[in-house]
Amino acid sequence: MAIHPIDYRYGTDEIRSVWSEENKLRRMLDVEVALARAEEATGDVPEGVADEISDAAEEVTLERVKEIEAEIHHDVMAVVRAVEENCDEESDAGEYIHFGATSNDIIDTADALRLRESCGILENRLVALRGALIEKADEHKRTVCAGRTHGQVGVPTTWGHRFAVWASEVDRHLDRLDELRERIEVGQMSGAVGTQASFGENAREISRRTMEELGLREEEVSTQVIARDRHAEYVGWLANVVTTLDKVCTNVRNMQRTEIAEVEEGFGKDQVGSSTMPHKRNPVKSENVCGLARVVRGFAETQLQNNVLWEERDLTNSSSERVVFTEASVLADHCIRRTKNVVEDLGFRDDEIRENLEALDGVNMAEAVMMELARKGYGRQKGHEAVRRAAMRAHDEGLTMKESLMQDDEITGWLDEDELETLLNPDGYTGTSVERVEEVVERLSE
């Protein structure tokens, strides 16, 4: 019976399979086989042993491993014994399984394989999200809207500009992923406390060959476990990614507020918004992302603490990592896919966008007037104060900005009515926004 939401509600079969019990076992067996092949190549185990161990590993089942673990209470030795019992009874190949290794040589290296798989999936998800953001940036690069700071209407921007900012941020996450993969796709064959003494004189070659077989980088130096700063970087990266998604979806939620209503999530023909208010069209997908982002971010602190282990190691990281790696990866995958869906299906309400842009009757264009006064030689600070007074007068007396400005003889001595009309047009004050959006779109579309 499923009890965790990632079993039945969040994530995909693809990402769940990476962090499943079955895949963990298969990757552990991959490591055991790679070790046997390395040791056979160095002459540390008899010829033919590696193939026999490989064949035996193919017959191992999760059910049998669990049965053995229930008896001996050790997960890695349960795997070793499950392989051993599938070896030919007339052969001594079973005696060479796990030869010289300690448990975390197998676990940490197997986790590196799973992290590699997870990163591959997440990379594809982010590339798809970036593509959706690029498309919206290009489509709405000239959709002028009210920019907002502190939740208040400021000078104009464009909706495309917002999407370009988000696409650029997602692109940086992909850059970070490329960099961190070099640091987390790392395995080890270090022995009990990291000295490799159990592997004998060929220890370095055994380690090198094992990682080469698995396509992993070899840990430079370690204790009994690979240092968890590597894993903390992965979880921290996931936290950073979902924070970007949180930002995107928070903006969607705010812009879908009834009082603003510039955009709205796609809403299905038969979709229900509320169990009691039939009219509701709630931004539930965005809220879903924002809520789960909190969970993923919470794991960053846990994984940082997992790097603080006693001497050559203790076991405090083990139990929490079974949860952290799985849940953080699956939930991040879910959030990326859900955000892509939000972006692709986002509806734009042009009338409301224009209404909000013009809601302050030109007061939000005060900067444009101030800067033109400064360029004409009136003075930047002096112009700031004069235009500020005009804006406050417009607020207090219910005037349009143009009406308020026209009441100031000093301002009209520098700017005539036609000039003010032009300066107060929000469509003419988006700066280099379109140009920069186009540059981002072109770069990220290559």
pLDDT at residue 90 is higher than 80: no
pLDDT, position 267:
82
- Answer yes or no: is pLDDT of 268 > 80: no
Q: Which of 25-34, 262-271, 425-434 has the lowest mean pLDDT?
A: 262-271
**Domain segments of the chain: what residues?**
5-96, 103-267+278-356, 358-445
**Could you tell me the CATH superfamily of domain 358-445?**
Fumarase/aspartase (C-terminal domain) (1.10.40.30)
Q: What does CATH list as the number for 5-96?
A: 1.10.275.10
CATH of domain 103-267+278-356: 1.20.200.10
Q: How does pLDDT run across 128-139, given as a tens digit for each residue?
A: 999 999 999 999
Model pTM? Answer: 0.94
Characterize 149-168 residue by residue with b for buried, 16 or more Cβ atoms within 10 angstroms of its Cβ, and e for exposed.
Answer: eeeebebbbbbbbbbbbbbb
pLDDT, mean over the chain = 95
Q: What does the pLDDT average to over 306-310?
A: 91
Amino acid 317: pLDDT = 86
Give me the mean pLDDT over the 274-302 stretch. Answer: 92
pLDDT above 90 covers what percent of the chain?
89
Q: Give pLDDT tens digits for 354-401.
A: 999 999 999 999 999 999 999 999 999 999 999 999 999 999 999 999
- The catalytic residues are 150, 274
Same fold yes or no, 5-96 and 358-445: no
Task: Write the pLDDT tens digit of every residue in 162-192.
Answer: 999 999 999 999 999 999 999 999 999 999 9
Q: What is the pLDDT of residue 160?
A: 98
| 83 band by pLDDT with thresholds 50, 70 and 90 | very high
Give 13-65 pLDDT, tens digit per residue.
Answer: 999 999 999 999 999 999 999 999 999 999 999 999 999 999 999 999 999 99
Q: What is the pLDDT of residue 275?
A: 76
pLDDT at position 314 is: 87
Rounded to the nearest 10 degrees, the angle between the axes of helix 316-345 and helix 284-305 is 160
From the number of C-beta atoms within 10 Å of its C-beta (0-12, 13-18, 19+), residue 286 rates as buried
Section 202-206 average pLDDT: 97
Question: What is the arithmetic mean of pLDDT over 70-76?
Answer: 96
pLDDT at position 280: 81
Whole-number Å distance between alpha carbons of 42 and 297: 45
Residue 269 confidence (pLDDT) above 90: no
In percent, how much of the chain has pLDDT > 70? 100
Instruction: Name the pLDDT band for 272 (thresholds 50, 70, 90).
Output: confident
pLDDT at residue 91, rounded to an integer: 82
- The pLDDT value given to residue 8: 86
At 436, the pLDDT band (50, 70, 90 cuts) reads very high
Q: What is the pLDDT of residue 3?
A: 85
- The pLDDT-based confidence of 158 (bands split at 50, 70, 90) is very high
